[in-house]
Amino acid sequence: MKRFISFWAVLLGLSLNFSLAGTIYYYCDKNGVFHFTDLPDSHLYRPFRIFKDHRWDLGKLNKLIKIYSRKYDLDPALVKAVIKVESNFEVEAVSPAGAKGLMQIMPTTQKDLNLETPFDPEANIEAGIKYLRLLLDKFHSLPLALAAYNAGPANVQKYGGIPPFQETKRYVQKVLVTYQELKK
């Protein structure tokens, strides 16, 4: 019992120290020893505690957008336009369809992208940018990639272009207009 209490006391201390980290990850090794970190360096780590940090400001988000836009060779203004239209920069946004986070990633796409913490801004931004890059590589057209981001790649393939859904047509137009405004 004493060992159990000290484990939770240490964990509480970790929680207080890492509260700015966003997420604490853990894994249990073959000897039964738990390892905790805010910067996982292995696929063995799983989310343990996600801190809802309401202090995410545009400066922090811009840094993440620049880092991951560079990594996946996308224009940061395009990423900002998608985030603006998808969630209006609301970290904990959830759509009626179940899309989550800044870039509004659907649960099935989260699984495909190995996104385990959709409300962690960094993880969400990286996954959304990675997904948008995949769609651009697949469709070789920004409007088609945006349509696929909104309505799913299967619908873009099915209709041989932007699907005839009003929501998707408005979405593509809104992102493109926002993108042009942000590029100025």
Residues noted as catalytic: 86
Amino acid at 95: S
Rg of the chain on CA atoms, in Å: 19
Residues 6+ apart with CB under 8 A from 3: none
> For 82, left (φ over 0), alpha (ψ -120 to 50), or beta?
alpha
Write the Ramachandran bin of 101: left for phi over 0, alpha for psi from -120 to 50, otherwise beta: left
d(CA 102, CA 80): 10
Half-sphere exposure of 119 (CA within 13 A, CB side): 14
The span from the CA of 166 to the CA of 122, in Å, is 31
Q: Which residue has the tokens 């991951």?
A: 68
